[in-house]
């Protein structure tokens, strides 16, 4: 007997192939999905519209393993965070951000897609953890199920999902795409494509691959209006410079039609990328791009070497962009009392890259993250 397959690893296509390969009819996949995702039933014996033979086969071939919650915290502002342990023993974090506006509830879930991150953006604490592998589709979907379980207590559910937790989702392409399929599938979570967003530091070839594969929304972590500045903040930029990145994003957005637009994320760091001249340069750069801009005041972590700008500076930056016609939102800091704000997600990563250990050593020696990186680059050279 082969290992059972994890139900939550399969999107509708995958599940259909799986049941068909075992000699069952194609529509059984949809029936199964309705039981599991709509009714919350994972006991095959209760699935009365399936034959006894099929139920017996399923019981032997399918499991419903989910990551285990090892820590849960709720912030003063209602933001909730879970630390979940994966099959590999590593832990990642998931954050739920509830908002109420005009009587409507929005529950945005920020999911992790990798254990740590390979990209090592200078201002992000996840990068400092090093990297230890990809999450499976089931481990991503598990995060949604865990949040929904808590929300069900108040008759609510996750309404929006952003791949803005730990990791670079487009470096875990297949698992992330399958998870996104399930999030947007009416037989599973049924969220609108406008409410499921993948966020990337700018993996150009993967954005290209998304065309025709998915119609989920796209956010790009830009953080700088020119290559010189961005090279120092997002090392990936040296491989895929801004022009190429903006071009492929525009192509993707246009491929979706229907007046879709993308999100530009811009973390503001005091004296680094928050000058008014940067705002004007950004406006020039994005002049022909269908986008809205999300400004994120930098969230500090020990030894980062960066500071959050004053609220005045943040507002001034926002004003320039708004005056130049860009819908520009300020992402208010949520959940920082439970270390759940952007760039504060660290999980517990058994680091394979030694970056974590090196970073800790340098912290002890009183060096900043930027200095640490420079030293590390020299060590590697
Ligand atoms: N790797 C993907 C997904 C991570 S999203 C990406 O880069 O888009 C997390 C978002 O928070 C990104 O926009 C990231 O740049 C931003 N961020 C990281 N560290 C931060 C910090 N310390 N303060 C504020 N925002 C931060």
5-63 belongs to which CATH class? mainly alpha
CA 87 / ligand 1 centre spacing (Å): 25
Establish whether residue 253 lines the binding site of ligand 1, counting it when its CB lies within 6 angstroms of any ligand atom: no
Quote the mean pLDDT of the chain.
91
Using DSSP's 3-state secondary structure scheme, residue 143 falls into helix
Residue 342 is among the residues annotated as catalytic for this protein = yes
CA distance 231 to 239: 9
Q: Tokens in use for 262?
A: 């993308």
Best residue among 131, 240, 265 to mutate for probing ligand 1, ranked by most atoms within 8 Å of CB: 265
CA distance 39 to 172: 29
What integer pLDDT is reported at residue 366 of this predicted model?
A: 54
Q: What is the mean pLDDT of residues 75-101?
A: 93
Q: Say if residue 378's pLDDT is above 50.
A: no
Strands, sheet with 262-268, edge to edge from the N-terminal-most edge strand = 68-74, 80-85, 91-101, 104-110, 160-163, 196-200, 217-221, 262-268, 291-297, 328-330
Q: Looking at the domain 68-380, which fold is it? A: TIM Barrel (3.20.20)
Q: Which residue has the higher pLDDT, 283 or 364?
A: 283
What integer pLDDT is reported at residue 96 of this predicted model?
A: 97
Using DSSP's 3-state secondary structure scheme, residue 312 falls into helix
CA 163 / ligand 1 centre spacing (Å): 10
Residue 91 is among the residues annotated as catalytic for this protein = no
Catalytic residue, candidates 68, 91, 93, 265: 93
Is the CB of residue 132 less than 8 Å from the CB of residue 184? no
Establish whether residue 272 lines the binding site of ligand 1, counting it when its CB lies within 6 angstroms of any ligand atom: no
What integer pLDDT is reported at residue 337 of this predicted model?
A: 75
Best residue among 117, 124, 204, 249 to mutate for probing ligand 1, ranked by most atoms within 8 Å of CB: 124
Residue located via tokens 């999300």: 294
CA 329 / ligand 1 centre spacing (Å): 15
**End-to-end distance of the chain based on CA atoms, in angstroms?**
49
State the burial class of residue 257 (Cβ atoms within 10 Å of its Cβ: 0-12, 13-18, 19+). Answer: exposed
- Residue with CA at minimum distance from ligand 1 atom 26: 343
The residues, ordered by sequence, that sit 6+ positions from 185 with a Cβ below 8 Å of its Cβ are 11, 12, 33
Is the CB of residue 147 less than 8 Å from the CB of residue 158? yes
Best residue among 296, 304, 335, 344 to mutate for probing ligand 1, ranked by most atoms within 8 Å of CB: 296
Q: How confident is the model at residue 380 (pLDDT cuts 50, 70, 90)?
A: very low
Establish whether residue 267 lines the binding site of ligand 1, counting it when its CB lies within 6 angstroms of any ligand atom: yes
CA distance 141 to 98: 19
Q: How confident is the model at residue 31 (pLDDT cuts 50, 70, 90)?
A: very high
What integer pLDDT is reported at residue 2 of this predicted model?
A: 78
CA distance 40 to 68: 18
How is the chain split into domains, by residue range? Answer: 5-63, 68-380
CA 8 / ligand 1 centre spacing (Å): 27
Residue located via tokens 């637009």: 261
Q: What size, in residues, is the chain?
A: 381
């Amino acid at each position: 007997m082969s290992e059972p397959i994890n139900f939550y690893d399969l999107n509708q296509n995958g599940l259909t192939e799986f049941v068909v390969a075992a000699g069952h009819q194609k529509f059984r996949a949809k029936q199964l999905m309705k039981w599991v995702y709509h009714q919350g039933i994972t006991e095959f014996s209760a699935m009365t519209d399936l034959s006894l033979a099929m139920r017996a086969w399923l019981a032997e071939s399918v499991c419903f393993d989910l990551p285990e919650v090892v820590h849960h915290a709720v912030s003063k502002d209602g933001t909730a965070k879970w630390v979940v342990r994966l099959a590999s023993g590593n832990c990642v974090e998931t954050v739920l951000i509830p908002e109420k506006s005009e009587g409507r509830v929005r529950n945005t879930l920020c999911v992790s897609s990798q254990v740590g991150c390979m990209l090592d953006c200078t201002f992000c604490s996840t990068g400092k953890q090093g990297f230890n592998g990809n999450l499976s589709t089931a481990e991503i979907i598990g995060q949604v199920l865990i949040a929904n379980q808590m929300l069900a207590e108040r008759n609510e559910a996750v309404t929006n999902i952003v791949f803005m937790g730990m990791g670079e989702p487009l470096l875990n392409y297949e698992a992330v795409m399958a998870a996104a399929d399930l999030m947007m599938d009416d037989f599973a979570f049924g969220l609108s494509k406008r409410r499921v967003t993948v966020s990337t530091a700018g993996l150009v070839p993967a954005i290209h691959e998304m065309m025709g594969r998915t119609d989920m929304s796209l956010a790009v972590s830009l953080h700088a209006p020119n290559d010189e500045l961005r090279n120092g903040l997002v090392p990936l930029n040296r491989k895929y410079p801004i022009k190429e990145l903006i071009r492929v994003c525009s192509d993707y957005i246009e491929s979706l039609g229907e007046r879709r637009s993308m999100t530009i994320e811009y973390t503001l760091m005091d004296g680094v990328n928050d000058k008014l001249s940067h705002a004007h340069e950004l406006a020039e750069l994005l002049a022909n791009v269908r986008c809205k801009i999300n400004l994120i005041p930098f969230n500090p972590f020990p030894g980062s070497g960066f500071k959050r700008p004053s609220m005045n500076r943040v507002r001034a930056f926002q004003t320039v962009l708004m005056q130049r016609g860009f819908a520009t939102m300020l992402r208010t800091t949520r959940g920082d009392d439970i270390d759940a704000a952007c760039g504060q997600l660290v999980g517990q990563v058994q680091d394979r890259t030694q970056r974590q250990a090196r970073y800790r050593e340098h912290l002890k020696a009183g060096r900043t993250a930027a200095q640490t990186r420079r030293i590390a680059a020299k060590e590697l050279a």
